[in-house]
Amino acid sequence: MPVELRKRKAPPPPPEPPAKRATATKKAAAPKTAAAKVKDAVKETVTKVTEAATFTNGAAAASAEKPAVGDVITLDGFGGEIALQTGDSTTLAALAEKSKKGVVLFTYPKASTPGCTRQACMFRDEYTALATESGFDIYGLSTDSPKANTTFKEKQKLPYELLCDPGATLIGAIGLKKAPKGTTRGVFVVDKAGKVLAAQAGSPEGTVKVVREIVEGLNGEEKGESGEEKKGENGEEEKVVVEGGKKDEERAEEKKEEAAAAVVDEEKEEEVEKKEEDEKKAEEKKE
């Protein structure tokens, strides 16, 4: 019987090769040319310079907004709305308008703390000379609530009003806001026309001293104009001018020292506050 030969099955077809990537993809993955790298580097440099210039200009604009001694500011709208310890709204323009000569604002970090109490009481003790007889109206200024400032005013028997600025709009406008949130102890004096007579940080004693010197200086000018304290001889008048120049230099140095002392004072005060808070929490836990 003849042998029947079977046909072999045909092998399966080979798999199709993967599709070639699009030319665009290859171009995207291709390394950048030297010219392209230079172009990107130039673009990055321009961006950085632009950002730096924007930051610098912004910082300069911000610092320019802080009033300095001798500047004349527009009182309307300056510092926004604030409130008295009674809760009644007011503005710096309104306070200046009702004053005889101008407004004294002394800033303090927190009502009823040691340094702030000392500062407020010093303005209280010299209130007659610095306010009643000078024509300036004195106000304490902080971010405290009306309730905290009312307690502070009543407890220390303060003869002047306390201003509440929780958003630190006025405190920031006069350049005494402490980052991120807080108040730098200092003093700001402006006359009715908007001329800045003082704008600086300082210790409790330093802030009172600044106002005292302003009041004494203005009183001296008024006496000079009325002829009560003229020296008579030219030589003597020139001598007074020279002495005045020396005093100005001494005052400038004193202001620097007072500003540095104010920073140290605030740091100490913050330590005291933290210690008091910790002790209070410890007592509450015991109870």
What are the residue numbers of the active site? 116
Nearest Cα to Cα of residue 119 among 133, 109, 129, 128: 109
Cβ–Cβ under 8 Å, residues 214 and 189: yes
Cβ–Cβ under 8 Å, residues 127 and 160: yes
Question: Would you tell me the crossing angle of helices 114-125 and 204-226 to the nearest 10 degrees?
Answer: 20
Q: Bridge-partner residues for 258, per DSSP?
A: none
Cβ–Cβ under 8 Å, residues 272 and 113: yes
Look up residue 233 and give its DSSP letter: S
Q: Using CA atoms, how far apart are residues 35 and 39, in angstroms rounded to an integer?
A: 6
**Residue that the structure tokens 């030219």 belong to:** 234
Nearest Cα to Cα of residue 182 among 168, 202, 170: 168
Q: Using CA atoms, how far apart are residues 2 and 54, in angstroms rounded to an integer?
A: 100
Q: Give the distance, in angstroms, between the CA of residue 246 and the centroid of all CA atoms in the same chain.
A: 31
Q: Bridge-partner residues for 105, per DSSP?
A: 139, 188
Length of the chain: 287
